[in-house]
Structures are given as structure tokens and as C-alpha cells.
Amino acid sequence: MLRTFTYGALIFLSALFILPFYWTFITAVKSVSELYQYPPVFWPSDVQWENFITAWFKQPFDVYFKNSAIVVVMSTIGQLFSSSLVAYGFARFQFKGRDVIFIILLATMMIPWDVKMIPLYMEFNMLGWINTLKPLIVPAYFAEAFFVFLLRQYIMTVPIEIDEAARMDGANSWQIYWRIHLPLMMPALVLVGTFHFMNAWNDYLGPLIFLNDQSKYTLTLGLSMFKGLHETDITSIAAITVLLCIPPLILFFFAQRYIMDGAIGSSVKG
């Protein structure tokens, strides 16, 4: 009975989550005449697969793709290392000012982007980073509060006895971090990697403000260029949206196994 309920609920909810995406997909392959038909067309009579190619070549999306890939890969690496280090520091040590510093860390999540924008622009301009990918990559090496907080919460669910046992065996703090907590954190690290990947992949404001010329643009900026001041190219937006979803979805499908399998018990025993 419970089984049936579970599957029923899952399938119903899946439909809710998939329907809008399905709608985007068929919008991408509709012809202009069917785009605005009412009642809505649920499967286009004439599927225009070439819309994907047309949209892709309307702008230099291959260049955008390269830029996005660089930003996403480089910054994700930085984020994983820095935030796990910092999280371990907060979760496993007693030190002067820890609680105050942690509150400040939490508070940095709450600063609205609007006021940070101009001063940050000035700073990056002084560093000569405007119109380069650096403003989108380098800050990731300095641990984002959201991820530190997430990992810290995760580490704190790990029994302290594990650390104590390792210390008895003569391991120092770095070794405990590297040999014990990093493997234990794996599911949470995959989570951080996923989230950061998506943030960087879909970031619009950062690239908009810090990049100037089209050879530096990222995919999201390209996507937003289909929305002009007066007119919107709906077919191209839908087509590029569908294409942009593919790489993260494939990655996610493989990554989520690690979230599920890398649970504490197995690693501790191993």
C-alpha cells in the first residue's frame, strides 16, 4: 500500500515538474504559425529540429560555451577546496572569536548584490580584471559562506569520536581533514559541487557587469540577448534553454549517485 502511494506521489509530482520543461521543448521546435495558436498545440505537426541549429548560430555560442566551461570548471574546483577547509575549521575547533566570525560569515550571505556591485566593479577595474573571466573565477577560491555553512552542518553530524580516535593514532589536524573528513564529506561535496556548478553556469549578473565584449560572454549572457528591449525571440530562448540544460543534467544524473552511496557508515568502516 505504501509502495503504491510512494510511486503514485512520485509520478504525479514528476509530471508537475516536467510539464513546464516539456512546454519549453515543444516551443523550441514549433513553427512560427503554431507558436501562438490557441488552443495550445501539444505536439507540433511539423517538428522543426533545425530551430536548435539556427538559434545556436545566431550568436557565437561556441565561444560562449568555451567561456562558460572555463568559468564553471575553474571556479568549482576552487569552491570545493576552500569551502571544505573553512567548514572543517569552524566545525572542529574551539578558538577565540569563532562564534563571532561565524556570525559574520553568515551575515555575508545577506548583503544585497545591488550595493556590492559598484564597489566591486571599482576594485576589479583597479586590478585590471574587467572584461576578463577572473572576477567570475577567483572569488570562488575564497570560500562562499553558503557552502561553508552547508558543509559545517554536515561535518557536525559526524561523531566526534572519529576525530578523537584518529588523534590517538597520531594524526594531525590536516591529516584528519584530508584522510577522514574529506572522504566522509563526499556526498555533501558533490552537493556543493552541483550547486556551485549551477550557480556559475546560470549566473547572469556577474558576467553582465564584469564582461564587456562578446568574445568574453558566457552562455547566459547569450541567452539574455534574445530578449531585446522591445521584442523577444521566444523560439531561440526556448531552444537555447533546452540545450543549456543538457550538460548539467547529464552531470547531475551521474553525480547524484555519489550523494546516495557515499554515506558515512561505509567509508568509516573502510
**Site residues for other proteins, window 91-120 (CB under 8 A)?**
91-95, 98-99, 101-112, 114-120
The residues near 79 (Cβ < 8 Å, ≥ 6 apart) are 140, 141, 143, 144, 147, 192, 193, 196
Interface size with other proteins, residues (CB under 8 A): 133
The minimum distance between CB 73 and other proteins, in angstroms, equals 17
Q: Which of residues 118-177 bind other proteins (CB under 8 A)?
A: 118-123, 125, 130, 139, 141-143, 145-146, 148-150, 153-160, 173, 177
The minimum distance between CB 128 and other proteins, in angstroms, equals 11
The minimum distance between CB 43 and other proteins, in angstroms, equals 14
Tally of CB atoms within 10 A around 204? 12
Q: Which of residues 189-228 bind other proteins (CB under 8 A)?
A: 191, 194-195, 198, 201-202, 204-205, 208-209, 212-215, 220, 223-228
The residues near 203 (Cβ < 8 Å, ≥ 6 apart) are 136, 218, 220
Say whether residue 241 binds other proteins (CB under 8 A): yes
Q: Which of residues 27-86 bind other proteins (CB under 8 A)?
A: 27, 32-33, 35-40, 50, 53-54, 57-61, 63, 82, 85-86
User: b or e along 4-34 (b: 16 or more beta carbons within 10 Å of the residue's beta carbon)?
Assistant: eeeeeeeeeeeeeeeeeeeebbbbbbbeeeb
Residue 42 DSSP label = S
The minimum distance between CB 197 and other proteins, in angstroms, equals 10
Distances, alpha carbon 196 to alpha carbons 10, 15, 31, 83, in Å: 27, 27, 36, 11
